[in-house]
Amino acid sequence: MIGTYEDKMKLVLKEVRDGKLGSIPLDGLSQEEYFSIVEDCHAEGYIRTPNRQIVSRHKTGGFLATSIQLTHKGHRFLDGEDGKSGGNQYFDIGSIYNSNIGSHGTVNITQGLSAAEAIEIIDRIVDAKDKEEANELVKIVSEEELKPGILKKFVGLLEKYPALVETVGKLVITQLT
């Protein structure tokens, strides 16, 4: 007895490849089931024929078309390279920031930043002499209403520490959301 339906299709495709389609009956299959498998192989694009029909049925049985050929897709299916075999495909698309692709769990993407996290970053990137001004900036952004020109007095500090611009930007996002 033959295994899965996919296995049966592969046996038919092997017969086509070897030029023996229909000459060797597949064990355990009725003629009708055999013809159905041939038609399914044709419908999937695994085999082709120049004839209009791949199977002609009659009251007393049926006939297979002549000149049935295995297609490229059929070869790939037969060799297990059609993508239906259950294998995984992985693509390296480089780094994607603030994104989630293909996760099976819960993912939280945080765009903002808390004041405490900002202070930790400032401790790493800002010189000791500028920390007081940087901490004042964090306090204003995290506690006061954001109005046009509120950050104007910190332009020099932000120009001196470009990484601080990102930190302040994340604080602003937190305030606005």
What are 143-173's pLDDT values in tens digits? Answer: 888 888 888 999 999 999 988 898 888 888 8
How many residues appear in the chain?
177
What is the rounded CA–CA span in Å between residue 69 and residue 58?
Answer: 23
Residue 99 has pLDDT above 70, yes or no: no
Q: Enumerate the CATH 1.10.10 domain ranges in the chain, comma separated.
A: 5-78
pTM: 0.44
In this predicted model, which residue has the larger pLDDT, 126 or 109? 126
Least confident of 52-66, 74-88, 94-108, 113-127: 94-108
DSSP at 153: G
Buried b / exposed e along 132-156 (16+ C-beta atoms within 10 A): eebbebbebbbeeeeeeeebeebee
Other Cβ atoms within 10 Å of 120 Cβ, number: 12
- pLDDT of 134 reads 92
Give domain 5-78's CATH architecture: Orthogonal Bundle (1.10)
What is the rounded CA–CA span in Å between residue 75 and residue 47?
Answer: 9
Quickly state the pLDDT bin for 24 (edges 50, 70, 90): low
